[in-house]
Chain A
Amino acid sequence: MTNETPKFLICDDSILARKKLVDTLNSLGYEDVISVANGDEAVNSYKTEKPDVVILDIVMPVKDGITATREIIEYDKDALIIISSSVGTQSHLKEVIKAGAKDFIQKPIDPKLLDEIIKHCLKK
C-alpha cells in the first residue's frame, strides 16, 4: 500500500449507512472502497482484499463488529480497524479496544473527525 491511496473495507448492515460512508470517504479523497454487509463478509473480504483500513459497524446480523474485529486481528495483528457505531457506550468502547480496534467514531459520522482518525491510524 501507499499512504496516498489506501484501500478501505467498510462493513455495515444498512445500505444507507454504507452509501453515506462511501460518499464520505470519496469526499475525503479516498476512492478505493469495498463495502460489505455483515461481520462474516468483512472477515472473508479482509483475507482476500487485504485492505489498509477497515471500518466496521458494531450492531449487525450474522456476525457483529466486535466479533469480526477479534477474528481479523487474530488473522492479522496489525490490521487497522476503526469501529463506527451509534452505540458508543463505555462498555462497548472497552470491548472495541480490547478486541483490537485502533479507534472508534460515533454515528452520525463527522467527516472531519473521520479523516483525522484515518490519518492518525495510517501514521502509526
Chain B
Amino acid sequence: MTEFDKDLSQFVSIYIERLTENIKEHANPDMKLLPVITYDAYELSEELSQEITGYPSAFSAINGDPETLVKFAEDYARVGIDKFDDLCREALLDFLNLINGLFVVYLSQNNIFELSLNAPNRDKNSVALDSDTHGDIYAIPVEFSYGVVTFVLAEPREFKKAAGQA
C-alpha cells in the first residue's frame, strides 16, 4: 500500500475533484477529503459498484462501515433511512450513479472523453479487487462528522500506459 497525494492521472484527478464537489452539493457540504491511497489489493465489504465504460473504462464503488453508510445515505436521500437495508443500498447506488453520471458528463462537455455507465451492481457478498484484474485501485476516503465513507476507483493500467503515465 502506498499513500500519496500527487502523480494521480488526469482521469483520477478529475474524478476526485468532481466527486468532492458533488458530495458537497448533493449530500453533505461538511466533508473533508482524506489522502488518497493506492492499493494492489482491496476488499469491499459488500458490492455497491458501477462500471464506467468506454475508453478508459473504470470500476467504481462505495465502501464503509454500515453505520456510517446509513448516515451518508440519509444525508443524500433524505427519506428516513435509519438502517443498513435495501433502501439504504439503493440510495448509495443512486448516489454512485449520480456522481459517475455527472463525472461522465463533465468529461464529455470538456471534450476529454466520451464514456458511459453500466447499471449499478449490488451484491451482499464481499468483493476482492486486485491490481492484476482491475488496474490501479484508489481508495478515496471522505470524512464526515459521523465517520469515513470510502469511494473506490480502479483505473486499468493499459490506459495509463497509452497516456504515457505508467
Contacts and interface: CB of A to CB of B under 8 A. Distances in A.
Interface stretch (A8-16, A43-51, A71-79, A111-119): A8-16
Nearest to A14: B94
Given A86-B101, A87-B105, A16 B79 contact: yes
Given A89-B115, A92-B116, A14 B93 contact: yes
Interface in A53-108: 59-61, 85-92, 106-108
A17 interface: yes
Given A16-B77, A16-B79, A91-B114, A106 B97 contact: no
B91 A16 contact: yes
Interface string B98-130: 101110110111000011111100000000000
Interface residues of B, number: 24
A120 interface: no
Could you tell me the dominant secondary structure of chain A's interface residues?
A: loop
Contacts of A17: 94
B82 to A, nearest CB: 15
A87 B79 contact: no
Contact of B97 (A14, A88, A91, A92): A14
B117 to A, nearest CB: 5
A89 B105 contact: yes
A107 B116 contact: no
B26 interface: yes
Contacts of B97: 14, 59, 86
B104 A87 contact: yes
Given A86-B97, A87-B101, A87-B105, A15 B87 contact: yes
Given A16-B79, A92-B116, 6 more contacts: A14-B97, A59-B97, A87-B104, A88-B105, A89-B108, A89-B114
13 contacts: A14-B93, A15-B90, A19-B79, A59-B119, A60-B119, A86-B117, A87-B101, A87-B104, A90-B108, A90-B114, A91-B116, A106-B105, A108-B26
